[in-house]
């Protein structure tokens, strides 16, 4: 296990301690592995205004990242990269992959804005563009190993990686290669698809 994985696990354990064990026990099935991002209780709302949990697509490989809709450079490339990555999979495998993109700009990224973005970016029912409060966004970022900070201009500096969550919500791989296909990342997705758990 590398240092990055240890940091993520420590962040999840710290978050669990802060919110209290009884809440975690009620919110998360006991069968989840210790490193699962799905252990984090997070109140999210998707582009359709529906409440969702991080574990919405437990059992599917999930491409997860964070973004904000008013970004003009990196975030559009995150969408393109995810589209390219999914298209690089054989057609039968594409259908099993899900996408979770969580906004860290809740002040501007309303449900209506997320819905419009999903439509403009060609996101189908396999995609969830989600919003949450600032505190939850920080917890999600820590669990995914992503960083962001708001600038005085209102824009954000942020990580530009896409994480692969396996069927149980463990981070199995990541890519920072934007605007094209990362062959190693596609291979990792196919391995996650072939895995039973």
Give the pLDDT confidence of 8-42 residue by residue, as tens digits.
554 544 444 433 433 333 444 447 888 899 999 99
Asked whether 55 and 98 are in contact (CB, 8 A), the reply is no
Q: How far is it, in rounded angstroms, from Cα 141 to Cα 11?
A: 10
Q: How far is it, in rounded angstroms, from Cα 115 to Cα 112?
A: 5
- Reduced to 3 states (helix: H, G, I; strand: E, B; else coil), residue 16 is helix
Q: Give the pLDDT band of residue 197 (cuts 50, 70, 90).
A: low
**Which residues pair with residue 101 across a beta bridge?**
65, 129
112: its two tokens: 């209506």
- Reduced to 3 states (helix: H, G, I; strand: E, B; else coil), residue 174 is strand
Judging by DSSP bridges, how do beta strands 62-67 and 98-103 pair with one another? parallel
Mean pLDDT of the chain: 86
Domain extents in the chain: 3-194
Q: Give CATH for domain 3-194.
A: 3.40.30.10
Give the residue ranges of DSSP H helices in the chain: 3-19, 21-27, 74-87, 91-94, 111-120, 134-144, 183-194
Q: How far is it, in rounded angstroms, from Cα 22 to Cα 26?
A: 6
Q: Give the pLDDT band of residue 62 (cuts 50, 70, 90).
A: very high
Q: What is the DSSP letter of 128?
A: E
Q: How far is it, in rounded angstroms, from Cα 7 to Cα 11?
A: 6
Please state the pTM of the whole predicted model: 0.83
99-119 pLDDT, tens digit per residue, is: 999 999 999 999 999 999 999
């Amino acid at each position: 296990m590398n240092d990055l994985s240890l940091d993520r696990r420590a962040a999840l354990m710290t978050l669990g301690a802060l919110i209290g064990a009884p809440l975690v026990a009620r919110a998360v099935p006991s069968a989840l592995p210790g490193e699962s991002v799905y252990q984090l209780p997070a109140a999210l709302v998707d582009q359709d205004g529906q409440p969702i949990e991080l574990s919405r697509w437990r059992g599917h490989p999930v491409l997860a990242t964070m973004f904000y809709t008013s970004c003009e450079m990196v975030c559009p490339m995150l969408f393109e990269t995810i589209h390219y990555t999914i298209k690089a999979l054989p057609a039968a495998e594409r259908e099993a992959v899900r996408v979770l993109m969580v906004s860290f700009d809740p002040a501007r990224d309303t449900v209506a804005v997320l819905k419009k973005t999903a439509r403009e970016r060609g996101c189908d029912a396999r995609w969830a563009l989600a919003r949450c409060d600032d505190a939850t966004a920080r917890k999600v970022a820590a669990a995914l190993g992503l960083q962001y900070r708001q600038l005085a201009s209102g824009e954000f500096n942020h990580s530009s990686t896409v994480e692969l969550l396996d069927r149980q919500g463990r981070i199995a791989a990541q890519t920072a290669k934007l605007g094209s296909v990362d062959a190693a990342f596609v291979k990792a997705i196919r391995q996650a698809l072939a895995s039973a758990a």
